[in-house]
């Protein structure tokens, strides 16, 4: 276990740091959908965050923590797309050069948007090369700060600001959620949200949701040790393909995450269509996994209130059309 883990206070400090630039995203519901489900589903719309996903929160918080003297050497990050855009946008706001390592098969819209924010993009083969090794090498050669996508206290604390907002918004609506579900890849979002909620609604259960075959966090929580996904595991959820939880995120998850759920690609497509039809929102595949878990009954909602973090909306138009037709 790492020597020091981020805390609820770190999340509160992050909230102050990002307040001038981040969007407080809405928590929405559909009366007709609630009637259909037999419970109350509240959806936190992080596709309306800057860059179209929650990743901006952690990226801005982490880069803002870099000492002024070190910012001139820039930052290096690796990402399938959402962290890339978050880092690129945050670096631009803070006047820091950014180099982003992205997989060649990332959605073109994510690659294009990352470049549009002014970042240098280096493409790699996610199934034949190590982004961690490329990132470490470039950071070392350039003297840059490596901004990891999830296994970093500053990143986790930034994502945790979503938990603070869920607590405040739920209280304003007069409800206490029975459970909060978030998408999970390396674990930065689910553990951050759990930390954010810990000081506000400590009895609320937090669950990770992952694609079937890439449910390393769920399996790690069940076994009590780090589990790794098969090298040939694939999913349309391109944002949720980390091979194993991070050391820091898993240490937090063992303390604060109740369990993990897994959904299929077919279930994700249906959830994307359902969210569009009932809630009028555009979810990328990884952003719809929580809705899929509720829709399929893997997370019971009848007579309960469940919050789902819809983590992003950066989806290629062709894939979104395919989901709507499913």
Question: Would you list the domain boundaries of the chain?
Answer: 8-53+154-325, 56-150
Q: Output the average pLDDT for the chain.
A: 96
CA torsion, ordered 214, 196, 25, 188, to nearest 10 deg: -30
Q: Do residues 46 and 310 lie in contact, with contact meaning Cβ atoms separated by under 8 Å?
A: yes
Reported as type and span, the H/E element at residue 291 is helix 289-295
Give yes or no on whether 8-53+154-325 and 56-150 have one common fold: yes
Q: Coil, helix or strand for 69?
A: helix
- Concatenate the DSSP letters of all residues of 114-181 into one string: HHHTT-EEEEE-TTTS-HHHHHHHHHHHHTPEE--SSSSHHHHHHHTHHHHHHHHHHHHHT---SEEE
Pairing type for strands 305-310 and 27-28 reads unpaired
Averaged pLDDT, 71-76: 97
Tell me what percent of the residues of the chain surpass a pLDDT of 70: 99
Instruction: Tell me which CATH code domain 56-150 carries.
Output: 3.40.50.1100
Q: Over the stretch 139-190, which tens digit does the pLDDT of each residue have? A: 999 999 999 999 999 999 999 999 999 999 999 999 999 999 999 999 999 9
326 — pLDDT class (breaks 50, 70, 90): confident
Q: Rounded distance, CA 136 to CA 199, Å?
A: 35
Q: Over the stretch 210-232, which tens digit does the pLDDT of each residue have? A: 999 999 999 999 999 999 999 99
Q: Over the stretch 14-72, which tens digit does the pLDDT of each residue have? A: 999 999 999 999 999 999 999 999 999 999 999 999 999 999 999 999 999 999 999 99
**What's CA 279's distance to the chain center, in Å?**
20
Averaged pLDDT, 272-287: 98
Q: Rounded distance, CA 211 to CA 217, Å?
A: 11
Q: Does the pLDDT of residue 1 top 60, yes or no? A: no
Is the CATH code 3.40.50.1100 the one for domain 8-53+154-325?
yes
**What's CA 130's distance to the chain center, in Å?**
21
Note the pLDDT of residue 256: 98
């Amino acid at each position: 276990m790492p020597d020091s883990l981020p805390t609820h206070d770190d999340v509160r400090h992050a909230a102050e740091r990002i307040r001038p630039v981040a969007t407080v995203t809405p928590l929405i519901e559909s009366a007709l959908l609630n009637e259909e489900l037999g419970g109350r589903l509240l959806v936190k719309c992080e596709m309306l965050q800057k860059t179209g996903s929650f990743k901006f929160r952690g990226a801005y918080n982490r880069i803002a923590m870099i000492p002024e003297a070190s910012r001139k050497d820039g930052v290096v990050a690796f990402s399938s797309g959402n962290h890339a855009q978050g880092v690129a946008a945050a670096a631009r706001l803070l006047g820091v050069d950014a180099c982003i390592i992205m997989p060649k098969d990332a959605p073109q819209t994510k690659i294009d948007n990352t470049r549009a924010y002014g970042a240098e993009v280096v493409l790699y083969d996610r199934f034949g090369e190590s982004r961690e090794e490329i990132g470490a090498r470039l950071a070392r050669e350039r003297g840059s700060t490596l901004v990891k996508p999830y296994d970093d206290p500053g990143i986790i604390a930034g994502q945790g600001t979503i938990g603070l907002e869920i607590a405040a918004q739920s209280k304003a609506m007069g409800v206490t959620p029975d459970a909060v579900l978030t998408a999970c890849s390396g674990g930065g979002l689910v553990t951050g949200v759990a930390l954010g909620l810990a000081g506000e609604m400590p009895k609320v259960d937090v669950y990770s949701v992952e694609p079937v075959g890439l449910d390393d966090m769920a399996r790690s929580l069940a076994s009590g040790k780090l589990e790794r996904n098969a090298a040939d595991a694939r999913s349309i959820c391109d944002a949720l393909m980390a091979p194993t939880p991070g050391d820091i995120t898993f240490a937090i998850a063992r303390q604060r995450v109740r369990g993990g759920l897994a959904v299929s690609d077919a279930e994700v497509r249906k959830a994307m269509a359902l969210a569009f039809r009932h809630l009028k929102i555009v979810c990328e595949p990884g952003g719809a996994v929580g809705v899929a878990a509720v829709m399929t009954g893997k997370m019971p909602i009848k007579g309960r209130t469940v919050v789902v973090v819809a983590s992003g909306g950066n989806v290629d138009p062709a894939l979104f059309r395919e989901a709507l037709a499913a």
